[in-house]
Amino acid sequence: MALSQPSLFRTSPQDYFHFFDESAFVDGEKVVKLLKYKKEDVSVATNVPLSSIRYDEKKMPAELRDRLTQWATALNLVAGFFHDEKKTIIWFFMPNPLLGGMSPRDMIRVGRFKKLLNFIQTALDENQRDNLDEKTSRQKTKIK
């Protein structure tokens, strides 16, 4: 992500995983497959009844579509940091001590997505500040 990008737009990352079609409709099945969730997992994480879990654009409940869009966006935010799909997937599956030993994937599955998204956005912002500080420090060193 560019350092000059306003923070408002940093939450709308490039679609590294091609989760969205031309009309910005999320391919929910692709998101669920990548996270290796079962329908039961999706139902619990989204608070959508198991019988209503559908990925067809015309039959997908709005609440499910919103959650899958959020998950896809989070996956793409992390992919924007790593610039590598495999590293992103590994990050989502590995337990993280900063998340209480849970993997990001499990945080989503148990309904703690908002906390995870806050963690991701904070980490990206801190990394951006660190990069800016490092760049400023290098420029000051060159001037001396």
Q: Tens digits of per-residue pLDDT, 27-37?
A: 999 999 999 99
- What is the extent of the structural domain holding 91? 16-143
Asked if 33 and 77 count as a contact pair (C-beta separation under 8 A), the reply is: no
Q: Within a domain: residue 35?
A: yes
Taken in order 78, 101, 93, 109, is the CA torsion positive or negative? Answer: negative
In the predicted model, is pLDDT for residue 83 greater than 50? yes
In the predicted model, is pLDDT for residue 98 greater than 80? yes
Q: Within a domain: residue 6?
A: no
Q: Within a domain: residue 10?
A: no
Q: How many domains does the chain contain in total? A: 1
Q: Residue 72: which H helix or E strand, with range?
A: helix 62-82
Q: Within a domain: residue 11?
A: no
Q: Within a domain: residue 7?
A: no
- Percent helix, strand, coil in the chain, to 5, is 65, 5, 30
Q: Within a domain: residue 8?
A: no
Q: Within a domain: residue 123?
A: yes
pLDDT at 137: 58
Q: Within a domain: residue 64?
A: yes
- What is the reported pTM? 0.82
- Give helix 62-82 / helix 39-46 axis angle, nearest 10°: 100
